[in-house]
Structure 1
Amino acid sequence: MKNNKLKQISGSTFLLMVMTAGVMLSFKTPEKKLPQQRKPNIIYIMADDLGYGEVGFNGQKKINTPNIDQLAKEGIIFKQHYAGTAVCGPSRAALMTGINTAHAHVRELSAWTASGKSIDLGSDEITVASELKRAGYATAIIGKWGLDESNTTGNTLDHGFDYFYGYKTHTEAHHYYPPYIWVNRDKVILKDNVPAEHKGTYSNDAFTAQAINYIQQNKNKPFFLYLPYTIPHNEITVPEDSKRPYESLGWPKKPMKPAHYYHDPEGNTTFAGMVSRLDGYVGRIMAELKKQGIDDNTLVIFTSDNGPAFNNEFFDASGPLRGSKLTMYEGGIRIPFAARWPSKIKAGSVTQQPAAFWDFLPTACEIAGIKPTKNVDGISYLPTLTGNVKAQKNHDFFYWEVNETQGPLQAIRMGNWKGIAKYEQPFELYDLATDMGETTNVANKYPEIAAKIKATMASTRTDNPEFPLTKRESHYGNDGSN
């Protein structure tokens, strides 16, 4: 990595750098004269592998998420919001570019490319950050990027972000006490962090401190803060204070064995503690917005990158939905989603309007008063956010694919019909209007609808030599490729 500077800092110095406003922040965008009506700030908070049913506002009973639930109560809940796909990298690419996995450059993790080469965001791809920067926004990502696997074309600073603090690759993000962190283009060694022993600074604590610093630094100008936490993705570990509320509840034990992931010994209380710690982060972010007097003019979105991956049954992680991460069932791709914007969104709103990650780019552009630079697959959901439902445009269909251990999977939602094509298995069709749990395959009952969805799958998907619809083996073995 010849273009990267290597720095080494102690744990105490690291904490000081995180907690002191401005010390580690180097923003390239000069402050501009504010217009009379300032454009709204946008904060996009994304959990990692948090299931549809793992938040209180979607029915979670075991894990406490009061701050996330309050955000939802004071804004709007989308009951039918979808991720980019059922695994992190391509899902995040869809969010950033407005392009779904039928046409995307990144359609899977690098472990599953046909050539074995890493796949990064392409140099010609335009992101939400690029668009908002064009509209005069300061832009930052703090957390997990996952789209710069080979240190070539995917660097955040080359895709519209002024500031980056976090993990460049998805495998770096598998450890909560990382040996190093990226700050812009610099690899900063955290010499007091010991991943296997859980010593040092818990990365997501640092992300929150950095986010608060960023808000303080940019309170007088419009900003876009993309805040993709790694909680509650494997590894299952959290500081002890987050576990304590759950340790005396008599829950069944879920012993965890460290391997690629350095899990804590007991999984259920640790996982619950991770989600509640995330909830605490959200509370701190919301409090800071109020403290800085910018709460009313800030859109805050909370969501997850795909379905759940940990103990779905005990935590009822997918709620009423079938499936989990890496599946094309609703539990793999339908995600918790709430948005709060006091000056624009009516508190207590709930919508059944379907939307997906690729809709965020045109939504952000409309908020900023610009049009997307390129044609995208997304449709702005700003009318739904603001209650102007008659102006909301709808998709003809939604498309997803994923290709890991079970072979290629494709899905299309067309109205309330959901078709799933599995590798060398019969086609499946579900009516989500009457069967949101996808319990009854009605492909034989409605062959004309199944045929239409199959034809749409074939016509909308473009070929990509790295992601053919063939079954492949992981290039990373079984050491945590997702």
Structure 2
Amino acid sequence: MSKIGSLVGSVLLAACSCTPWDALAQPSSTGNSKPNIVFVLMDNLGYGEVGAYGGGITRGAPTPRIDALAAEGFRLTNYNVEAQCTPSRSAILTGRFSIRSGTHSVPIGEGVEGLTQWEVTIAELLSDAGYATAAFGKWHLGSSRGRYPTDQGFDEWYGIPRTTDEAFWPSEPAAKAAGVTFTQIMEGRKGEDSREVGVYDLEQRRLIDAEITRRTIEFMKRSVAAGKPFYAYVPYTLVHFPTLPNPKFEGTTGYGDFPDALAEMDANVGELLDSVDNLKIRDNTIFVFTSDNGPEASWPWQGSSGPWRGYYFTHMEGSLRVPFVIRWPGRFEPGRVSNEIVHEVDTFTTFAKIAGAAIPSDRPIDGIDQTDFFLGRSEKSSREGFPVFVADRLEAVKWRNWKLAFYDEQRDWWSVPQKLGTPKAFDLITDPKEEYPETALRNTWNARPIMKIVSEFEGSLTKYPVIRPGTPDPYDPAR
């Protein structure tokens, strides 16, 4: 029996309730009435990297395939994520802010890490709804038996269980002498133990995204041949440091490794898009391109946050806002752009709604259904704001065009922010770089709706205590 078992048909909130898929779509030429979903998640890709968001040639590498996708799809300029790799992946897959799941920070060192098996992922929901599911790329939500993707609803997976900077380790003599266990590239299938494929070193770091692309395409082909709708979760490793391009792209831009890696990224996305077309499933496939958090900040691989300020691991807009393009031909208006607030947890609830999947009712789900907004039935997002956690600190709250910051600004990711005696309020329309705190007393009214978000969320944490990092399985919330 699946984790959601008796939860089928129940919901947490009326806004998250599921309606029959027939109200949204008609059967496709492949015989599937439910849309395929390809979710491309880049690693540490800032807002200002691709052409459609002001990057591209200004960053040394045109991104024609991603730009074309943006022209064909719906582009958000206020799509928000969590501030680090692990929290963001947790939020996407569970529809819950990571502070709830014990995944609010990137794990360091040994010990139990990642999602408990009690968590219910979008892969599990879609699998129960008849989807083939696969994850290809960086997992970062558990690196021990029982915590791999195939333990969380995916039929198969390939990639790295942890993070890309560990590719440095095999080339460090001191690490070898110390007997450090090096990160392995792994693969696995549901019901079987995952196995090691090879050491993830600097050579494999350059090659892995090409293999992720190849395996994703093969999975799509097999799923279409089997007549099953599919969910392909594709968390690429680029452009996380060390930002090293595939040898095929090395030197192609003339501007160094980072632009070369952007060119590789664009080409990989183009291969996936071409495969969707070649398989004749374009009209019945939701294709997402986005990032897990703000830009890379490690010399010499600094990324760009575009018009915003700050890097990942901060509460600045440069950390929270990332590219988000979603295409569903005939359903989502091509070329549409919106600055309405959406959070990555919303994709969990929205995709569950579209697929006719049941949402757990025994836990808080933070994702809000954005189906009407995405379909153009409403020009307004269903969300007005959200709490901003960096690790386990509530550092700010966003509401409409306002941000209330409880900690001082932090441009980089390696310094410790200072808690403010008096919060700072920023109007993100007139002050997008968060340089001039609002001092006019006439605008203190915004503290009321902002602090309502805080009090409601704190009340939720009291009713549903958080899972602590390192909590082993089996986790029982009743204990």
Q: Secondary structure at the match of 2:391?
A: strand
Q: Which residue of the partner structure matches residue 383 of structure 1?
A: 372
Q: What amino acid is the match of 2:400?
A: G
SS, match of residue 52 in structure 2: helix
Quickly say closer, same or farther: Cα 1:90–1:432, change in 2 above 3 A.
Answer: same
Matches within 5 A, 1:288-437: 288-310=275-297, 317-374=304-361, 375-389=364-378, 394-403=382-391, 408=393, 410-422=395-407, 423-426=418-421, 427-437=423-433
Read off the aligned partner of 1:157 and give its amino acid letter: T
Distance 1:173 1:147, change over 3 A: farther
Alignment of 1:64-213 (within 5 A): 64-83=62-81, 85-111=82-108, 117-152=111-146, 154-170=147-163, 174=167, 180-184=184-188, 185-190=193-198, 195-196=201-202, 198=203, 202-213=207-218
Q: Which amino acid aligns with 1:187?
A: R
CA shift in 2, pair 1:194/1:370, >3 Å: closer
Tell me whether 315-324 or 66-75 shows the greater mean CA deviation: 315-324
**What CA distance in whole angstroms lies between the structure 1 residues aligned with 2:37 and 2:432?**
31
Q: 2:245 aligns with which of 238, 248, 253?
A: 238
Residues 309, 36 of structure 1: CA spacing in aligned structure 2 closer, same or farther, 3 A cutoff? closer
- Alignment correspondent of 1:18: none
CA contact (8 A) 2:79 2:321 kept: yes
The structural deviation recorded for 1:41 is: 0.2
Alpha carbons of structure 1 residues 199 and 166: separation in structure 2 relative to 1, 3 Å:
closer
**1:275 counterpart residue number:** 262
1:243 aligned counterpart, secondary structure: coil
Q: Bigger shift: 103-112 or 297-306?
A: 103-112
Structure 2 match to 1:23:
none
Q: Percent identity?
A: 29
Which residue in 2 is equivalent to 1:257? none
Q: Which runs of 5+ in 1 are unaligned?
A: 1-33, 252-268, 468-482
State the distance in 1 between where 2:39 and 2:257 align: 25
Question: CA 1:65 to 1:36, structure 2 compared with 1: closer, same or farther past 3 Å?
Answer: closer
Shift of 1:459: 4.9
Q: CA deviation at 1:320?
A: 0.7
User: How many residues get paired?
Assistant: 402
Change (3 A) 1:189 1:139: closer
Cα drift, residue 355 of structure 1: 0.6
* Alignment check: 8 A CA contact 1:362 1:371 kept: no
Deviation at 1:403, TM superposition (A): 3.3
Distance 1:176 1:201, change over 3 A: farther
Cα deviation for residue 313 of structure 1 reads 11
Task: Give the deviation of 1:54 after TM superposition.
Answer: 0.5
Closer/same/farther in 2, CA of residues 176 and 394 from structure 1, 3 Å limit: farther
| C-alpha contact (below 8 Å) 1:102/1:460 kept by paired residues | no
**CA distance in 2: counterparts of 1:79 and 1:351, whole angstroms:** 6
Contact 2:125 2:352 in 1 (8 A): yes
CA distance in 1, matches of 2:120, 2:138: 19
Contact 1:297–1:343 under 8 Å retained in 2:
no
Shift of 1:342: 1.1
Structure 2, unmatched stretches of 5+, are 1-28, 171-181, 408-417, 470-479
Match of 1:478 in 2: none
TM-score scaled by length of structure 1: 0.76
- The CA RMSD measured in Å over matched residues stands at 2.9
Alignment partner, residue 21 of structure 2: none
Query: What's the CA shift for 1:284?
Result: 0.4
CA deviation map 1:33-58 (0-9, x unaligned): x9955211000001000000101000
Corresponding residue for residue 22 of structure 1: none
Point out the more displaced range, 163-172 or 364-373.
163-172
1:16 alignment partner in structure 2: none
Q: Structure 1 residues 91 and 430 mapped into 2: Cα distance closer, same or farther (>3 Å)?
A: same
CA distance in structure 2 between the aligned counterparts of 1:466 and 1:369, rounded to whole angstroms: 32
Give secondary structure in 2 for the equivalent of 1:110: coil
Q: CA separation in 2, counterparts of 1:37 and 1:171? A: 37
Equivalent residues of 2:205, 2:244 under 8 A apart = no
Moved over 4 A (4+): 34-37, 171-179, 311-316, 463-467
Native 8 Å contact 1:101 1:399 kept in 2:
no
AA matched with 1:68? I
Question: Closer, same or farther in 2 for the Cα pair 1:97/1:223, shift >3 Å?
Answer: same
Matching residue of 1:259: none
Cα gap change, 1:299 to 1:312, in 2 (>3 Å): farther
CA shift at 1:101, angstroms? 3.6
Q: Secondary structure at the match of 2:282?
A: coil
Q: Measure, in 1, the Cα distance between the counterparts of 2:31 and 2:265.
A: 36
